[in-house]
């Protein structure tokens, strides 16, 4: 009898739990493709984009939120979340790096200043996340300290993590390197730009969010 009552309340709470909108953050270093992935997710389920993408690092310098995205999976499952696209986390920002992209000095300085604020904002928002997708560039060495710091912080905060190796459409992409760097996490290789492996990504999201 007690078991039945417990089961009833558990079921009731799980209904409320499922209805709750979770905050899903996209984190990673600059130019890994966070906004491209945010755009792909948002286009797939809402039909609208989240933000502008560019080859110049630190294109996203403010937190961008797309509210109430509901994705549907196999067997009628669905999850609803607010998607939070964050500026890339870096340990160095030099305005001179932006000059290589045909930017004038004042534009480059402005961008660098905004980028530093963006990094601070992204770190502050870590505490608000219910689940995080760490977006890494699959052609780069995954053992960068920024990657380790982000994942270490998420582990310390006990936030569920899904690691994405983006840009698998490129020949040099090596998702296996990411898998061996972070064996404790589910890793999905995809190309947000080309829309490759998105089904597997959504399934993995169901697994991680639960």
Partner 1 sequence: MLTLQYVPHSEIKNLSSGDKVNKLLNLVKEDKIVLVEGRLRPMEETELIQRTMEGISKSFKGIELCTVYPDVKRERPLDKFTRTVASAITGVKSGLTVIGPATVIKEIKRDPNKIQLLTTNGLNRRRSYKIIKKRKR
Q: Using CB under 8 A, list all residues that contact partner 1.
A: 89-94, 112-113, 116-117, 119-120, 123-124, 126, 141, 143-145, 148-149, 152-153, 155-156, 183
159, two tokens: 């936030």
Helix (H/G/I), strand (E/B), else coil: 26: strand
If the CB atoms of residues 79 and 138 are measured against partner 1, the closer one turns out to be: 138
If the CB atoms of residues 69 and 93 are measured against partner 1, the closer one turns out to be: 93
145, two tokens: 């300290």
Rounded Cα–Cα distance for residues 109 and 132 (Å): 30
If the CB atoms of residues 80 and 116 are measured against partner 1, the closer one turns out to be: 116
If the CB atoms of residues 38 and 93 are measured against partner 1, the closer one turns out to be: 93
Residue 178 beta carbon to partner 1: minimum distance, rounded to whole angstroms: 13
In the β-sheet with 64-72, what is the strand arrangement from edge to edge? 64-72, 78-85, 22-27, 131-137, 161-166, 186-189
Residue 109 beta carbon to partner 1: minimum distance, rounded to whole angstroms: 9
Closest by Cα among 155, 154, 193 to 173? 193
Residue 45 beta carbon to partner 1: minimum distance, rounded to whole angstroms: 31
Closest by Cα among 153, 133, 138 to 202? 133
If the CB atoms of residues 80 and 144 are measured against partner 1, the closer one turns out to be: 144
Residue 10 beta carbon to partner 1: minimum distance, rounded to whole angstroms: 33
Closest by Cα among 6, 23, 5, 107 to 58? 107
Residue 33 beta carbon to partner 1: minimum distance, rounded to whole angstroms: 21
156, two tokens: 């310390």
């Amino acid at each position: 009898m007690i078991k039945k009552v417990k089961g009833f309340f558990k079921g009731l709470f799980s209904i409320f739990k499922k209805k709750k909108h979770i905050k899903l953050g996209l984190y990673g270093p600059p130019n890994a493709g966070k906004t491209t992935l945010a755009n792909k997710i948002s286009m797939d389920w809402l039909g609208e984009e989240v933000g502008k993408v560019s080859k110049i690092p630190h294109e996203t310098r403010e937190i961008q939120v797309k509210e109430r995205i509901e994705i549907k999976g196999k067997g009628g499952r669905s999850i609803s979340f607010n998607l939070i696209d964050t500026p890339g986390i870096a340990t160095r920002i030099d305005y001179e790096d932006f000059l290589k992209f045909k930017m004038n000095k004042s534009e480059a300085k402005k961008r660098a200043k905004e980028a530093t604020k963006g990094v601070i904002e992204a770190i502050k928002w870590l505490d608000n996340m219910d689940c995080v997708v760490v977006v890494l560039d699959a052609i780069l060495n995954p053992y960068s300290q920024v990657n380790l710091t982000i994942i270490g912080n998420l582990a310390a905060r006990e936030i569920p993590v899904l690691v994405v190796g983006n840009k698998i459409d490129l020949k040099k992409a090596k998702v296996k390197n990411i898998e061996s760097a972070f064996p404790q996490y589910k890793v999905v290789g995809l190309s947000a730009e080309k829309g490759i492996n998105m089904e597997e990504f959504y399934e993995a999201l169901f697994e991680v969010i639960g």
